[in-house]
A and B are shown apart, each in its own frame.
Chain A
């Protein structure tokens, strides 16, 4: 089965020759990414004290960023898995770019627990390694659960990205080998395509593998952000100790995941000319999913705050009041505006689900979701139960540099990926087209081959 050459051309363009724009983009984002490593290096050299965290705000930007990036990682795998499991046909051009978001966001999110450590070079104390002293990590600690859950999710989502990539890598291998069998690209793709030949047996294994992974990855993804929320809700602190946090965080994670997906898809569509793949229908459908999660997230936020206010417990109310009408009120209401008011007003209408509008709403939601995590982390910590120790928090350039750098890292990884693998799953789109062509003809199973 071959695809529509002219339609597929924009996908192959960055994979067959160096594109100056992509190179420049990679260099620029690389420079921004370097900011993270420079700031982190500076912090390791000069102690964690160069960050603005203090007593009682022991966690600040780093844990906010950690929750933010792990949240974003729910874009891909979870959304793509749900769409695959439910056999939503319009998913075909979306899955790859969503799965890539997951892997890269997880890599960056997973960095933050290390960045925030007082002695990062000892992070391996948290890993259950056999040692002659019989010392184990503390399995009662939510941080150890974190490592387990995020490690599982990272391995799972890398597999989930790579598995459906194989036939596409084989397509690239064949294309490059046909052009010039000795070129570096041909040799690299020959190696990473892992001997994919497109036999019936291979297709069968691949499809059952993808099906199984899609089903397995959904509970794993749900567990990851539940456990991240438990970092907070397992404590005794006011407005952290909440039973609603597990599902609330999972919903927030998927919400921010869809937001980043909308922005990424819009940029890919504009930057790479993928209008025929990431078309208005895809944006419309994802926009509806986006709207659904706006409403669910808004409901959770309302429920969380209403119960605290109605309960009227003094230490909880101190944190609550500071959010609604105190020090954090300005950013709290900005969050409500960006995460509820704007998305509902825009996405409710078909005209509002145009690509550029969903992307703008997406940027707003990303800012709003970052604020949400910041308010949760810093809002609670700055108001301990014993009011004699009330504190405040001001980030330093190190923390800002690491935040900005993390976006650079993400963009860099993404731009590099776009130059290695097709960002739209070629074989899956071809398969979809094939199904369409067969609708009226015989219903035999389509025979798939590469190129």
Chain B
């Protein structure tokens, strides 16, 4: 069995935001503009939370990249009346855009607030439309979207391994965010495969889940606590 997972080392994260930009480019996420962002409609499947510790001038900033946690027991899934969001056998929390009718119930029940609604359809004025990723659908207005763990890249890596008659390794699949992280804070892989990097890192004493006490069983593991 496979369970896709991600390990984020917060002690490595510098908060540069390269992952956010890469995610936008890879996944055709719309940029909503200044006005809409001010109304709380900015869309970033991956966001960098800044947390300040201490009082000025003795202050410390911690960065926490937050994306869909691809929960094993996802609160967003049972509430959707039309099965637009469901769990795949490989542990992904998938979205079926064409099935979504836009009740936004899933987003209300997500404790991580990582679901994004297309209040309006995205616009890519020429020549920006040329940079759209052909492997990812462009979402219409009125549907929910969120981080997919770059499912198109997972699919691609699996297809290549299959063509070469071997099993998938860490080298086959990399998400846009992990690929672009200059500090290598983000690692992606199969948590069920004991040889993978993520499976090794998940054993770390620094490993923890976000809002673990809610019992959502996230697939994203944070390494925290180092100085």
Contact = CB atoms under 8 A, between A and B. Distances in A.
A137 B81 contact: yes
A324 interface: no
A123 B142 CA distance: 12
B82 A138 contact: yes
Contacts of A57: 40
Contacts, number: 135
Q: Which bracket fits the contact residues of A?
A: 35 or more
Interface in B112-131: 112-113, 116-121
Contacts of B183: none
B78 interface: yes
A34 interface: no
Closest 8 CB pairs of A and B: A118-B102, A118-B142, A49-B119, A54-B40, A58-B104, A143-B81, A119-B142, A389-B113
B28 to A, nearest CB: 18
Contacts of B211: 385-386
B136 interface: no
Contacts of B80: 138, 141
Nearest to B50: A388
A236 B39 contact: no
A58 B211 CA distance: 21
B107 A123 contact: no
Interface residues of B, number: 45
A48 B119 contact: yes
A153 B14 CA distance: 56
B162 interface: no
Contact of A58 (B81, B101, B108, B118): B108
B41 interface: yes
Given A47-B121, A56-B40, A388 B49 contact: yes
B94 interface: no
A413 B103 CA distance: 28
B78 A140 contact: yes
Contacts of A389: 113
Contacts of A120: 101
A345 B215 CA distance: 47
Interface in B175-210: 210
A386 B66 contact: yes
